[in-house]
A and B are shown apart, each in its own frame.
Chain A
Amino acid sequence: MSTDTDTSAAAPNLQTLEAGQELPTMHKFPDEAQLFLYSAASHNPHRIHYDREYARFEGHDDIIVHGPLQGAWLTQFVTDWAGPAARLLGVTWQNRASGLPGEELVFSGTVTSVDSETGIVELEIAEHTSDGRLLMPATARVRLPTA
């Protein structure tokens, strides 16, 4: 359970930010311990996240990463990029497929619009496995500091 992010990148500058720019990718490496901790911290007793035999009975390849955990990573991906003075205004995601423990999950994104008056930036973001399977297409809206 770890995260790789390029933390050397400075917070985005509203004056130079443009549609089409890409965000630095974030990588997650979920393992069984993280799924267990997330089930506990989110009060989620769903068996497909801890009982391998039951998860396979339901047709999954293994225990699966929680949808809301993947969603929380999408919000982290944006807030890490935007910096502490920014405000996340919204996020949407679609559950296309589930990540599995032991897989490397990759978060990527592109700026789709920038309003330099209000500071509102729209993003198209996504979570894939490292071999390119799309898990969650998503969007986010964030307000960057204007001063």
Chain B
Amino acid sequence: MSESLIPAETLERVGEVLSGPVTTVIDRREAQRYAYAVGDENPVYFDEVAAQEAGYRTLVAPPTYVTHAVVQPRTASDLRTDGLYREGTRIRLLVDRVMFGGEEWDFLEPVCVGDEITATVRLAAVDQKEGRKGPFVRQVRETTFVNQFGDEVARSRMIGIAR
């Protein structure tokens, strides 16, 4: 087994809230702007009658839109040179590079226009694995999305690979 790339202080943070809770209302124009940008012109995003015929309360948002809806406005002076915002909470790992490994989504209830969604991000897991190119760290940030009725509507796990 290789040396640990995960400092003890980081292991202790598993389960910790990294950001949020943040609450936002799903806006029709913003959700539709997103659907157009994807090129996904499903009538259930644009036509109230079509949405209701499909069994929704009202217009629904594209499945993964909810994660973009909760992005908070930030000042441009918080941008790093790569264009990303500086993070409030950093997870310390003894690695050179972190890459996006993938994402896992559960869609539990529809997210409709007008819904009030509260998102909370937690550090769900940090594990060291042995790969073909040596040891790497798999880090999972889980976001839960809860609506105004108190129902969990979606859960996303963003997987970061660090080595």
Task: Give the contacting residue for A47; candidates B37, B44, B82; CB below 8 A.
Answer: B82
Q: Are B102 and A94 in contact (CB under 8 A)?
A: yes
Instruction: Decide: B83 and A71 in contact? CB cutoff 8 A.
Output: no
With beta carbons under 8 angstroms apart, the residue of A3, A40, A95 that contacts B102 is: A95
Q: Which of A41-83 contact B (CB under 8 A)?
A: 41-48, 51, 54, 58, 67-69, 71-73, 75-76, 79-80
Number of interface residues of B (CB under 8 A): 37
- Decide if B107 touches A90 in the complex (CB within 8 Å): yes
Contacts of A54 in B (CB 8 A): 82-83
Are A46 and B40 in contact, with the CB atoms below 8 A?
no
Given A71-B64, A75-B64, A95-B101; A28-B83 close (CB under 8 Å):
no
List the A side residues contacting B50 at CB < 8 Å: 84
How far is A69 from B64 in the complex, measured between Cα atoms in Å?
9
With A79-B63, A90-B107, A93-B102 as known contacts, state yes or no: A84 contacts B43, CB within 8 Å.
yes
Kindly list chain A residues whose C-beta atoms are within 8 Å of the C-beta of B36. Answer: 37, 41
Residues of B within 8 A of A (CB): 30, 33-34, 36-40, 42-44, 50, 53-55, 62-64, 67-68, 71, 79, 81-85, 99-107, 110
Residues of chain A at the chain B interface (Cβ within 8 Å): 1-3, 28, 34, 37-38, 40-48, 51, 54, 58, 67-69, 71-73, 75-76, 79-80, 84-85, 87-95, 136
